Amino acid sequence: MLRAGAVLALGGAAVPLTGCDLLDRDGGPAPAADPLRPLLDEALTLAASYREAAGAHPDLADRLTPIAEAHQAHAAELARVIGVTLPSTTAAPSGPPSADPDAALAALVQRERAGRDAAVTACAAAPAERAALLGSVAAARATHLEALK
């Protein structure tokens, strides 16, 4: 009986020592980025683009502000699904809006179209639990294109 207790004690001590290696993964690969992260970043950039265009062209603010808010809401939901916190500041879009309102709208249409295509592609590749969200984002972006006409 004493021998069995000694074997169990030694065996039990060996498990925690070897188990430490499970937590030490300095040489292992970094976890893969969530495939929704680019859509989150894009939603934040689109929201910022619309806010900047609305600020530069107050006569377009009534059309552009709700779209900016929709992109911000999508970013918040994507962040929730991914399990990240939205950044307090977002990266500026790829330059200030054009001084010409028609050119500013054309730039937004181009960004929105690219965003819609990215959302459609992500939706088609997504697991079922994410497809509804991505389908909603893609549909909203298609609607935004109509609102920009």
pLDDT above 90 coverage of the chain, percent: 69
Tell me the whole-structure pTM to 2 decimals: 0.76
> How much is the average pLDDT of 122-131?
93
Is residue 31 in a domain?
A: no
Interatomic CA distance for residues 91 and 75, integer angstroms = 13
Please check the confidence at residue 7 and state whether its pLDDT lies above 70.
no
Is residue 11 in a domain?
A: no
What pLDDT, on the 0 to 100 scale, is given for residue 97?
81
Is residue 20 in a domain?
A: no
> In whole angstroms, what separates CA 56 from the centre of its chain?
26
> In whole angstroms, what separates CA 35 from the centre of its chain?
8
Size of the chain, expressed as the number of residues it contains:
149
Is residue 51 in a domain?
A: yes
Is residue 16 in a domain?
A: no
Is residue 14 in a domain?
A: no
Is residue 13 in a domain?
A: no
Is residue 15 in a domain?
A: no
Q: How many domains does one find in the chain?
A: 1
Contact status, residue 99 vs residue 56, Cβ threshold 8 Å? yes
Interatomic CA distance for residues 92 and 89, integer angstroms = 9
Confidence of residue 59 (pLDDT cuts 50, 70, 90): very high
Q: What range does the domain containing 49 cover?
A: 37-85+93-147
Contact status, residue 39 vs residue 119, Cβ threshold 8 Å? yes
Confidence of residue 31 (pLDDT cuts 50, 70, 90): low
| Distance (Å) of CA 86 to CA 39, 55, 100 | 13, 23, 32
More confident residue, 19 or 27: 27
